[in-house]
Structure 1
Amino acid sequence: MSGLKESLQTFHKIASSPKEQLKKYLAEDKKVVICAPVYTPEEIVHAIGMVPMGTWGADIEIKEAKTYFPAFICSVMQSVLELGIRGEFEGASAIIIPSLCDSLKCLGENWKSSVENIPFIPMVYPQNRKADFGKAFTKAGYERVIADLEKATGQSFDDAKLTASIAIYNEHNAIMRQLSDCLNDYPNVTAADRNAIFQSAFYMEKSEHTALVKDLISELTKTEKTANNKIKIVTTGILVDAEDLLKILDENDMQIVADNVASESRQYHVDAKPAETGLDSLSCKFADMDNCSVLFNVDKAIAQYTVDLVSKYQANGVIFVMTKFCDPEEFDYVMIKKACEEKSIPLLLVEIDRQMTNYEQVRTAVETFKEILK
């Protein structure tokens, strides 16, 4: 048990200290590129020989970023900019920001005006991504990112190295999918523990994180399985990392058995398949991505996907964690709610914000939901 405890503590330490991770890599004389959500092409950064470090903002008070954003905009974007202005990313060689929603587009433009010492590199994705012309557009976007990275860092791109990086990322995808299923047999691993494992992946080189996850799975298999009396839930949304929210779930004996959360399992759904070049492989990977609020899908497959997760993992219900002022998520909630109602699946909507300090309403809602599910 001590080995399992130490392994989980490692993930918690890394997840709670991204700045320390940044300092660590800089001290090792490695160049770091900040990768804003979502679907930023980390494989390209890795292939050029740099460390891609993700960011989803932080639960902090927004001060300076208020100058650039209206109050009614996603707090994830506001807090990313706030961190940049405060110098939390000092030493990074660049930041890549995709343009998959209006808030992300605003973030990129505002970054250019407010954080002058860290170059902004845009990644423009098409919404019609599955057709050949969409894949060609995506590939052109990657080529633009490569040119900007080479200019900002002095490093050079090699497609053969990209193919090697893709293999590393595919291995990480596979181990994270394996982990998610494995955790279902160990209810002693809390929602907070589970989040720390996923969150820490953003702040590490993927090969390093893969090694840690393999060690964790090894420790889990040494642990005796116990009866699972927890309430099984599926989570969906953009971000489910609020410490108070996770604490409430744990206090109410709820176990996350599966998720379709943008900052968790959603990014590991699809591997990059072999293609003529590494860039072609990445372009096809993005075309294959789905079940996400910021990706266009005329059939809104995310609703059926959520229902299927409940069935596959025999969950008792769904908790939709809505990031306040996230328009794409608000549209999808209607579809997911309807799909759950048709299958008589209990659904709870919880709205959170990066600047929330009081979770008592959330606590009351979760406690009531628990009574419904019992």
Structure 2
Amino acid sequence: MAVNELLNKFHDIATSPKKQLDSFLAEGKKVVACVPVYTPEEIIHSMGLVPFGTWGADVEVKEAKRYFPAFICSIMQSVLELGMNGDYEGVSAIVIPSLCDSLKCLGQNWKYAVENIPFVPMTYPQNRNNEVGKTFTKVGYERVIKDLENITGAKFSEEELSKSVKVYNKHNKAMREISKVLVDYPSITASQRSDIFKSAYFMLKEDHTKLVNELIEELGKMPKETTSKIKVVTSGILVDNKNLLEIFDANDIQIVADDVAHESRQYRVDALEEGNALESLAEKFANMGNCSVLYDVDKKRADYVVDLVKEYNAEGVIFVMTKFCDPEEFDYVIIKKACDSEDIMTLQIEVDRQMVNYGQANTAIQTFREMLEVKI
């Protein structure tokens, strides 16, 4: 397929998760909803089940308000809202990790609000990068396996998990590569870049890897492009809102790299392909870092963001702050301080899943762009 055909395919998949879900169910496949941030998809995939990303949607929250206060992460609110409205009808189970207070609340509320879809908890340790932490993580994975076997009738196999680890490592590699390749093709918009990342949650990873590698190959046939666009690094939990991305594009802003939980944070670390596969997954989680929901007393994420700016010659950083996300709010202060010390311009935009009017964000981004143009 040509580049535009591939981009259109990514867009169609990214914007029609319900259609993708219905397609899997029509094929007789059992689907397991995976709530962010680091749900062990490899385990689900290895059991012949379909991992299906569940990051909520830009919807008005009504029913979920009976379970959540207004001042809590809108991603969690919208996930519950969709569940209560029947959007996940046909899903065999939902796996919810426990990496922040909002996720813990979602798991408990789901049990009562959406009784027809069983809740499977995945409990992670805060101190993950030591032998006790790795053992704790492994036991958590074993709990997930046991619950999924009881709920779905599927069986776990260490051999099949080893195969799935390789599938996911290949996908990680492809996603890291496409992020770098896109830097040389600024005509591909922020919206199209988002589609590439978002579509991964609604496909089997081997199928998504094939599409991404095909796009990389097609772009490789084209000459590299020059641009006058402003280059930025984005940071946050989620940057997939159509209206916001259109503002990026309207203001000639190119995302050259990201520190976004929904995007590149997923693909930084591979699991070892040798030895016990379950222990390898626990080791993978132990090696993760530079993320607001992962405990880090040294807050190395601040240096990581600064290094991204330098590596990709970005002009600034745009923090897309999910409203009421405490982990991100705590990290923001430290990251901004690190950026200020390096004379890197920053902009913070607060968003949630219920936002309709992005006029204020438009003004802020336009002003940010003009300030960067003067600085450059």
The 3-state SS of whatever aligns with 2:147 is helix
Q: Which residue of 2 aligns with 1:195?
A: 194
Amino acid at match of 1:316: E
How many Å separate the matches in 2 of 1:47 and 1:273? 16
Q: How does 1:119-138 map to 2 (within 5 A)?
A: 119-138=118-137
Counterpart of 2:139 in structure 1 is 140
1:153-168 equivalences under 5 Å are 153-168=152-167
The residue that corresponds to 2:228 in the other structure is 229
Tell me the residue number matched to 1:258.
257
The corresponding residue for 2:345 is: 346
Summarize the alignment of residues 352-367 of structure 1 with structure 2, pairs less than 5 Å apart: 352-367=351-366
State the alpha-carbon separation in 1 of the partners of residues 125 and 225 from structure 2: 47
Q: Which residue pairs with 1:204 in the alignment?
A: 203
Matched residues in 2 for 1:18 and 1:42: separation? 17
Aligned to 1:283: 282
Give the residue type in structure 2 aligned to 1:190.
T
Give the Cα–Cα distance (whole angstroms) in 2 for the partners of residues 10 and 275 of structure 1: 35
Match of 2:120, SS state, is strand
Q: Give me the whole-angstrom Cα distance separating, in 2, the residues matched to 1:369 and 1:269.
A: 29
State the match for 1:317 in structure 2. 316
1:217 partner amino acid: I
Taking the aligned partners of 1:303 and 1:80, their CA distance within structure 2 comes to: 29
Q: Secondary structure at the match of 1:233?
A: strand
Mind listing any 5+ residue stretches in structure 2 that lack a counterpart?
A: none
Instruction: State the shift of 1:273 in Å.
Output: 1.1
- Aligned twin of 1:15: 14
State the distance in 1 between where 2:157 and 2:81 align: 34
1:87 matched residue in structure 2: 86
> Which is further off, 357-366 or 223-232?
223-232
SS of 2:371's partner is helix
Equivalent-residue separation in structure 2 for 1:198 and 1:55 (angstroms): 14
> How far off is 1:372 after superposition?
1.0
Structure-2 separation of matches of 1:194 and 1:357: 22
Distance in 2 separating the partners of 1:137 and 1:371: 50
Distance (Å, rounded) in 2 between the aligned partners of 1:158 and 1:280: 14
Structure 1 residue 246 and structure 2 residue 245: aligned? yes
Following superposition, which runs of at least 4 residues in structure 1 exceed 6 angstroms of deviation? Answer: none
1:275 is displaced (CA, Å) by 4.7
Q: Which moved more, 1:222-231 or 1:332-341?
A: 222-231
| 1:319 aligned partner, one-letter code | I
**Who is 1:61 aligned against?**
60
The aligned counterpart of 2:368 is 369
Q: How far off is 1:223 after superposition?
A: 2.4
Task: List aligned pairs for 1:291-330, cutoff 5 A.
Answer: 291-330=290-329
Task: Give, in angstroms, the shift of residue 303 of structure 1.
Answer: 0.3
2:166/2:273 contact within 8 Å kept: no
> How many Å separate the matches in 2 of 1:240 and 1:284?
28
Q: Percent identity?
A: 63
Say which SS state the counterpart of residue 322 (structure 1) adopts: strand
TM-score (norm 1): 0.99
Counterpart in the other structure of 1:180: 179
TM-score (norm 2): 0.98
- The offset of 1:213, in angstroms, is 0.4
Q: Give the CA RMSD over aligned residues.
A: 0.8
